[in-house]
Structure 1
């Protein structure tokens, strides 16, 4: 099953194709600046029963060196099958697109996977390699830790990818707080996909809740799906609290009408209860009970 972090780590390049230009700078690769980028089909399946699919594929245009293909793979863990599929991707794409140069970028969220992915893949004999693949790898070992708001605002897409790749960083709270603050002056068309991609990229890690809390601080600012979800949750919680409060008041009235004396402790137990099902059970018992013990018996 494809995870949310997996989707975010490569889909961010579809949303912001120019991001690779900045990532290549971070990785120390001297590439000409792109003039445009086109999202291409990712299906690499041949007329065989074997299906092969790269995560994201972009055609990058440049003025000085011409176009090249950028294949992006989001890798959450070591996978020995990639030692054969990645060389296949590169060879197939080189052939399918009339000999265009092909780069493979692997995006990771942990050091061990990044170190594994960065190893050259060689096909051939030890004394004479026929094909050697050298993936570019972006991960927590080389993506910047951005905790300066001004730096994050300079390139929000890079700041988002950096936050995703540092999802397990002990200082991820500061990284996310910086990204959230940097979004406040950005237009809605930029904030919406970044809020969603960041949430996807963090997956079910504790940092995901930190991000939700940051977004929830001022949900009127965010219009994304996640912020709408947070607002819906808040409204649902408000309705549940209102229902429980009404049930508690009704229970007190029933007990008073039946002449059942309550201690301060029992009264507090009723007024602080937020379990609608339990309150309804107490109300039903109160209709026939003669003592408080009968109402609250477990």
Structure 2
């Protein structure tokens, strides 16, 4: 996906604010020190340019970091895009190539003839189809049900705080709380925890945009399709943020919002696959919090799957057939 992002702005004719930024994964918990060291070693083994830095040295490099931070892993092979510009850029380029968007159209029914989908019925019209791609995100399971398929994806809410713009931090514009690695991937640890913050999936993810605004996240909880923010979660997020960066106490919040991630409760991995029946039904969902990261490569692989019946990278690990026990 990173390789595709490098030339994406030129390809779609839109500045997506793609840039190399420094990132820092850090911890305020002494018990996590061995895990941080392992994280560092794993990154090194992957050939990524990283450095393990003790808390005192971190604060010399960036005095605004909190006193409670004990260790951090610095990485310079980190890249950032503006997600809104990526979305609009893709839509703009697709429209130029003949794509038609039907906004505010609800799918009511999917019609099939034996082992193939033949049309999609919306609240406005019937659309004949040669292939049908289910990229409905957190709603992918509802589309699957129309064909008698159980797609193990459910909505996982995430809440965000946006601050006023402030001068850009030149060293690290992406700071990640080590707890994020737990709340994002380890459901068992969340269920066992007695900490209300962990129960809500709150762990620090702090990104300073090119505009100077800080995007403060994040949270992960299952609340159906409720995409409202909650005061309780926002309080936990704000308190956690000021533990890592006390300077945020003096910065104003200008807005908050929530969104729904498509989380695959089967095994936490995306689903990128054709189905055996219907034969022309393709699933592309379950990316959870990696949707923007994996968007370009997902689009490329799904296009290859439809047009060539094979892919340039193996997607066997993401096959829908791995859920035989529920279908």
The interval holding the TM-score normalised by the smaller chain is under 0.3
Structure showing greater Rg:
1
Higher RCO (C-alpha under 8 Å, 6+ residues apart): 2
